[in-house]
């Protein structure tokens, strides 16, 4: 009986030692094995690991997933002495687990250090740029993306070198103005918009005048060309008519005179006309002729 109890106890101790010497590394973590508090191994590949039982060797797990740090809104001063409120956030992860363990130990301390770095870099970047690069009615002067990239690069370098933290991105969630400055900024923006609107209206009116002038010039050119062509056509028609008249006159002068006299009658004689002409007028020639088939009265 005693021998069986001893065997059970030995098996239990062996199992306890076995369990205390094995551990599992998850996909989402680093495992650091410490020998009397000093790191001796870093495991980042998922699977089963071995170590000496405590207190000889202990295990520290560090989460390696990407995390989001949502920094509180803070006030900064631009190069042209304008106060702005910036609300940034950062995406970060553990890059060097050993340095991270030695310098910051846990997530809370890491985010506190990272927040200080972000504040410092945002203040430095805004302090070397004027407000117009952040907010302006002229899109060509806005350089927010460039400034954010600069902040990310500088903060990433400091966090990696000092704490083993990898900063993947820093973005500005909101840009605002202190309440005491907001109305003045809005008024300046409205004035700037009005100035741009006046400029656009002036340029539009100038362009309209150019279009109208070009249209008038084109109209005058077209009318002049049409008039010239009409004169040519009339001249050609008059010349053709003169040739026809001359040919008709040469063939029968008396008939030509007869026809032209009749045309003249049509132009000034109607039922209400009263005509006073000298007796020797050529226009009375046909009127004084005897009627065909009549007595001449």
- 2-16: pLDDT as tens digits: 767 667 666 665 555
Q: Is the pLDDT higher at 5 or at 218?
A: 218
Section 150-165 average pLDDT? 95
Lowest mean pLDDT among 31-45, 107-121, 191-205, 242-256: 242-256
pLDDT number for residue 52: 81
- Confidence (pLDDT) at 296: 41
What is the average pLDDT score of the chain?
83
At 262 the pLDDT is 73
The pTM assigned to this predicted structure is: 0.57
Q: What is the pLDDT of residue 294?
A: 43
The share of the chain scoring above pLDDT 90, in percent, equals: 37
The ranges assigned to domains in the chain are: 2-63, 67-177
For domain 67-177, the CATH superfamily is Band 7 domain (3.30.479.30)
Q: How far apart are CA 20 and CA 23, in angstroms?
A: 8
> Does pLDDT of 21 surpass 90?
no
Check whether 144 has a pLDDT greater than 60: yes
| C-beta atoms surrounding 289 within 10 Å | 9
Looking at residue 58, what is its pLDDT? Answer: 87
Residue 158 pLDDT exceeds 80: yes
Please determine, for residue 295, whether its predicted confidence score (pLDDT) is greater than 50: no
Residue 181, preceding peptide bond in cis (omega within 30° of 0): no
Comparing 114 with 257, the larger pLDDT belongs to 114
Residue with the larger pLDDT of the pair 106 and 290 = 106
Please state the φ and ψ torsions of residue 61, each to the nearest 5 degrees: -105, 135
| pLDDT tens digit sequence for 71-129 | 888 989 999 888 889 999 999 999 999 999 999 989 999 999 999 999 999 999 999 99
Tell me: pLDDT of 273 over 70: no
How many beta carbons lie within 10 A of that of residue 266, not counting itself?
8
């Amino acid at each position: 009986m005693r021998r069986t109890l001893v065997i059970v106890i030995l098996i239990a101790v062996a199992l306890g030692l076995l369990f205390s010497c094995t551990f599992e590394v998850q996909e989402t973590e680093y495992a650091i094995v410490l020998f009397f508090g000093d790191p001796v191994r870093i495991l980042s590949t998922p699977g089963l690991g071995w170590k000496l039982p405590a207190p000889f060797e202990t295990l520290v797990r560090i989460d390696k997933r990407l995390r989001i740090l949502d920094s509180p809104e803070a006030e900064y001063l631009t190069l042209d002495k304008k106060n702005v409120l910036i609300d940034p956030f950062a995406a970060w992860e553990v890059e060097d687990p050993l340095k991270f363990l030695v310098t910051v130990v846990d997530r809370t301390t890491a985010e506190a250090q990272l927040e200080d770095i972000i504040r410092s870099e945002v203040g430095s970047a805004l302090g070397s740029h004027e407000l117009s690069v952040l907010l302006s009615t002229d899109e060509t002067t806005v350089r927010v993306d460039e400034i954010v990239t600069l902040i990310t690069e500088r903060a990433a370098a400091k966090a990696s070198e000092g704490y083993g933290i990898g900063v993947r991105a820093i973005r500005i969630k909101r840009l605002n103005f202190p309440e005491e400055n907001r109305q003045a900024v809005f008024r300046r923006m409205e004035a700037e918009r009005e100035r741009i609107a006046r400029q656009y209206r002036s340029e539009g009116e100038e362009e309209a005048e150019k279009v109208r002038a070009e249209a008038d010039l084109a109209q005058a050119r077209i009318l002049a060309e049409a008039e010239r062509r009409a004169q040519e056509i009339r001249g050609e028609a008059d010349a053709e008519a003169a040739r026809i008249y001359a040919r008709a006159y040469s063939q029968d002068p008396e008939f030509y005179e007869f026809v032209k006299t009749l045309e003249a009658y049509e132009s000034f004689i109607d039922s209400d006309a009263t005509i006073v002409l000298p007796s020797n007028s050529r226009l009375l020639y046909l009127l004084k002729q005897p009627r065909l088939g009549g007595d001449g009265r």
